[in-house]
Chain A
Amino acid sequence: MPTKTISASHLSIGFGRHTVVAEIELTTSPGALVVLIGTNGSGKSTFLKTLAGMLAPISGQVTILGDEPGKSPRRVAYLPQHPISSHTLPLRARDVVAMGRFAHLGLFGRETAEDRKISQSSLELTGAIEFADKPLRDLSSGQQQRTHLAQVLTRQAEILLLDEPTAGLDINGRKLVADLIASERARGVTVVMATHELQDADNANTVMLLAQRVVSIGPPDVALRDEYLRECFGFTQPH
């Protein structure tokens, strides 16, 4: 495993020619947790999409596991913000989770007993096993989110890019996400997570506060100082 999992230098991100955030500097090592915090439109999702290879960088350098973003689909997993484009899809939660193996199977690979075992284990870890045979459209938003988290785990990737993974989850669900992230980090997985919640940053190695620019970056006690929070959100957190 390389010592640097993500490396960004003088990176400008955005859509087409429109820059959303400029001059991003970030280096991560295996097992690191990077938390991106900011208001809507601050550039969190744009950064994750750039790391996932869905948006081309405007300028600067960025590498994921030593390669260009998007070149290692088996090693990088991405959880979109609202993954379901249509709630009418006739798919069971189990089928959605099994789709996490498609990056490994490609077009022609046959699903093996090992693939099924990985999917089953992800369903159990996320608690999605309780509703695995129910159609996705009949599930609550929290249950759908658990299903998509299980799909991401099924990828068995070295880097997880999670866009608001706790959205729609209750307290138990949020604790589950925190536990899952901790266990993934324990096996050397780098996690980059976008969130609105300051408490999601508690266990992070690096916090990046975004407001269409990098307001602050560093360990939580540095990046979440009152002056930066005031600059970003207009308020500070209670002490």
Chain B
Amino acid sequence: MRLALLASILVAITCAIAGTFVVLRGLAFVGDALSHGVLPGIATALIFGVSGIIGAAVGAVVMMSGVNLITRRYKLSGDTAIGLLFVGMLALGVMITSRSSNFEEDLDHILFGETLSVKPNDLLWQSLALVIVLLTGIFARRPFLLMSVDEGLARTSGFNVTLFQNLMLAIVGLTVIASFQTVGTLLVLGMLIAPAATGVLFARRISSMMIIASMIGCIASYAGLLISFHFELAASASIVLVAVSIFAIGAIATEIKRNRNSLQDEMPHQHEHNHAH
């Protein structure tokens, strides 16, 4: 349980940093595609007894290379290319997994993770991924920020937009690879999006958005594991559901605050109006 909590917290912080850029750049669909694109790689690795991380890395590279090839060579839009490869890779992954003797169990583990079966070695990989994602975020903060406002601004400020776009995708891919064992390829997207989206509601700066997202991810991990333990529910699904619920509560709270503020803005005018009569 302690290892599961540690792994979930590492995943939460890594996803918060990468997720901040995913939300700001509107890359949720790319993140979704990457999380499914790694499926055939992991399935093949499991069949041949190779580390799932290596399989996931190969799957992510094939996925993003395919998207690049389709958009450039055939002039199709990015979302069409992603959509094509997304379902293609998912189908391939399920086909490969169906050759396994433990088809349902293997597919279940890949899609929904094995939070409670995390080993110390997995923590090492996850820590390494967190350090790489954090350092990349610090190194490329200026072009990433400019690209979030306007690609043209980044380009005319002297930054190579293609290079930094690929770097951003690489850290999203690395986050998916490092997280799939804990929360699964299907639910990792929830950890990428939900805490960062909640951060957007409350933050006034990108750095505070990352801190809020990290805190929400950690709270969701702790609360999700507790719920899973006490009510015998799936651990990864519980974590992600708590994260999404926190977003829902945050969204309602900001809506109430906004309505209250606009009401207060209207009050003095009404007061003046009454006096005039």
Contacts and interface: CB of A to CB of B under 8 A. Distances in A.
Contact of B206 (A74, A91, A102, A107): A91
B28 to A, nearest CB: 12
A52 B156 contact: yes
Contacts of B140: 107
Contact of B153 (A83, A90, A95, A107): A83
Interface in A78-105: 78, 80, 83-86, 88-92, 95-96, 99, 102-103, 105
A88 B25 CA distance: 11
B203 interface: yes
A53 B199 contact: no
Interface string A48-66: 0100111000000000000
A95 B141 CA distance: 13
A103 B206 CA distance: 19
A54 B152 contact: yes
Contacts of B206: 90-91
Contact of A78 (B142, B153, B208): B153
Contacts, number: 79
Contact of A89 (B143, B148, B153): B148
Given A90-B205, A91-B206, A102-B157, A80 B152 contact: yes
Contacts of B151: 85
Interface in B132-191: 139-140, 142-143, 145-146, 148-153, 155-159
Interface string A18-37: 00000000000000000000
A83 to B, nearest CB: 5
A49 B152 contact: yes
B158 A73 contact: yes
Interface residues of A, number: 29
B212 to A, nearest CB: 9
Interface in B198-243: 199-200, 203-206, 208-209
B156 A54 contact: yes
A84 B26 CA distance: 13
Contacts of B200: 88, 90
Contacts of A78: 152-153, 156
A96 B153 CA distance: 11
A229 interface: no
A85 B142 CA distance: 16
B205 A85 contact: no
A102 B146 contact: yes
Nearest to B202: A90
18 contacts: A52-B152, A54-B152, A54-B155, A76-B156, A80-B150, A80-B152, A86-B26, A86-B148, A89-B148, A90-B205, A90-B206, A90-B208, A91-B205, A99-B149, A102-B146, A107-B139, A107-B140, A107-B143
Given A89-B149, A99-B149, A107-B139, 9 more contacts: A49-B152, A53-B155, A54-B152, A78-B153, A90-B208, A91-B149, A92-B205, A102-B145, A103-B158
